[in-house]
Amino acid sequence: MTIRFSRNLTRRRFLSTTAAAGVGLIAMPYLSRAADRPVITHGVQSGDVGTDGGVVWARADRPAQMMVEVATSDSFKDARTLPPIAALPESDFTAKMLLENLPSGQDIFYRVRFRDLSHTDIVGEPVVGRFRTAPGDRRDVSFVWGGDVAGQGWGINPDDGGMFTFAAMKKHNPDFFLHSGDTIYADGVINAEQKQPDGKIWKNITVVEKSKVAETLDEFRGAHKYNMLDENLRAFNAEVPIFVQWDDHEVTNNWSLSKQLPAAYKERDITLLAARAARAFHEMYPMRESIVEPGRVYRTLSYGPHLDVFMLDERSYRGPNGPNLQESYDPGAYFLGPDQLAWLKRGLLNSRATWKVIASDMPLSLIVYDDAANKKGSEAFAQGDGPARGRELEIADILRFIKTSGVVNTVWLTADVHYAAAHYYNPNKAQFQDFDPFWEFVSGPLHAGTFGPNELDNTFGPEVKFVKAPGEANQNLPPSAGMQFFGHVKIDGKSGQMTVSLRDRKDVELWAITLDPKQA
């Protein structure tokens, strides 16, 4: 699904459309029954922002109507009031609204209230959020990315400052946040206490839904809502729109259709488990939903003349995890799958953006075993040193296409492996050589155990230009150890140069590079 945005709606035109809307929300008698107003339970979010709008999300504590005002200043002078939409038990009282016909390159402020569905004179207190629409001109663009939140039992610990990395990312005032997946750990229990490697005790905020692995729809929903209890995350969500994708832990570790669920699961059907997880995922994030394929995660998000982001889904269409050593492309080797692969090629070929960021929820050449204890099976693309085989055939195909079609300025961003790295792909050092050089940058975890580094597969000639990982003797370090990582990207509006930096949760720059754009 490619999202197209209208351009060049001026601020004056936007404000001229607000007069007819009046002050409907302001005039409502929302002071009655003040002690029993609907409450926004988990803050507000925005996402999938383009040149003319974006999606706004909130959750109520009861059946209610979500009421949204939108303005171009935080005073909400001349605000436009939008028609209310329902938040019902069927969606766990979540609601999301597409805000359209907004001016490009503009700070947009939105104010959300909920009105009780049974007593429409009762309106709750407002919560304010903001986002910046994509530019219609070549101005600077800045965004952050990372993945892996509340994993390995490291939950919200107020004594450690909570999910501190989100506060560090917020300081950059980014245009958006690219979430590379593992937004939750549905398979991970959050206990009240957990012992750290130094013997100290990590103390978590706990909720019932995180006391076991997620199996029911409500348990999957509860895992997402748990993360939103963190003050840093809620403050970040209110200021920075999210471009979100999923990976394995939204369902369970290393899930594919061949997944044999461990004994902790009473629900033995991985397909049913994934369906419940997918519904909760789509309910809990401000995504633009596909009418072509409901529930689709892969999509193109255009953020002005300098940037197109291609959000991949490397879970929904993959074949079974296993050896994946086929020399010919068949359903067992699917990772993106033929339809998504064709969509990506079309999108790259048609893109007129300076930079084409490919958001991959898994790295290209880091080996991730399906059975990590015995180093067996394939969970990611990489199949080990040698020519392209199995799932690597898709990467070979897309890299060859990029070269032969004259597509330039592709950059791959990913997370998943819980450490930070920069990889330069050099065809002169590769087993498969029919591609142009490119970069892949790895960041994360945002708030989870730190691992790595992983083994590197030489098929596509990756060169490690930077890595920060704990090493074999120090696996699963807690967030308090400081090895939580995010990436920051800035595109200069005048020159089109892209600067990528890898940073820790204290916002220390660990490594950076500036890339010059090539002409097609």
What domains are defined for the chain? 11-132 (2.60.40.380), 141-515 (3.60.21.70)
* Tokens encoding 110: 């939105």
d(CA 100, CA 127): 20
Q: At residue 155, what are phi and psi to the nearest 5 degrees?
A: -95, -150
d(CA 380, CA 384): 11
d(CA 362, CA 380): 6
Q: Which residues, other chains included, contact 342 with Cβ-Cβ below 8 Å and sequence gap of 6+?
A: none
What pLDDT was estimated at residue 35? 63
Half-sphere exposure of residue 199: CA atoms within 13 angstroms, side-chain side: 0
User: Counting beta carbons within 10 angstroms of the beta carbon of residue 329, is it exposed (0 to 12), middle (13 to 18) or buried (19 or more)?
Assistant: middle
CA nearest neighbour of 485 among 426, 435, 422:
422
* Tokens encoding 451: 């691992």
Strand order in the sheet with 438-442: 299-302, 307-311, 355-359, 410-414, 438-442, 420-425, 462-468
Q: At residue 112, what are phi and psi to the nearest 5 degrees?
A: -115, 135
Amino acid at 242: I
* Tokens encoding 429: 């050092």
CA nearest neighbour of 394 among 300, 308, 317:
317
What pLDDT was estimated at residue 370? 93
Which position has the token pair 């004179």? 121
Which position has the token pair 């963190």? 230
Q: Are 96 and 86 spatial neighbours (Cβ–Cβ below 8 Å)?
A: no
* Digitized pLDDT (tens) for each residue of the chain, 520 residues in all: 444 333 344 444 444 444 333 333 333 444 445 568 999 999 999 999 999 999 999 999 999 999 999 999 999 999 999 999 999 999 999 999 999 999 999 999 999 999 999 999 999 999 999 999 999 999 999 999 999 999 999 999 999 999 999 999 999 999 999 999 999 999 999 999 999 999 999 999 999 999 999 999 999 999 999 999 999 999 999 999 999 999 999 999 999 988 999 999 999 999 999 999 999 999 999 999 999 999 999 999 999 999 999 999 999 999 999 888 999 999 999 999 999 999 999 999 999 999 999 999 999 999 999 999 899 999 999 999 999 999 999 999 999 999 999 999 999 999 999 999 999 999 999 999 999 999 999 999 999 999 999 999 999 999 999 999 999 999 999 999 999 999 999 999 999 999 999 999 999 999 999 999 999 7
Amino acid at 422: A
What pLDDT was estimated at residue 33? 52
What pLDDT was estimated at residue 34? 55
pTM across the whole model: 0.93
Encode burial over 194-227: b for 16+ CB neighbours within 10 A, e otherwise: beeeeeeebbbebeebbeebbbeeebbbbbbbbb
* Tokens encoding 306: 């300098």
Length of the chain: 520
Q: Which residues, other chains included, contact 12 with Cβ-Cβ below 8 Å and sequence gap of 6+?
A: none
d(CA 360, CA 367): 15
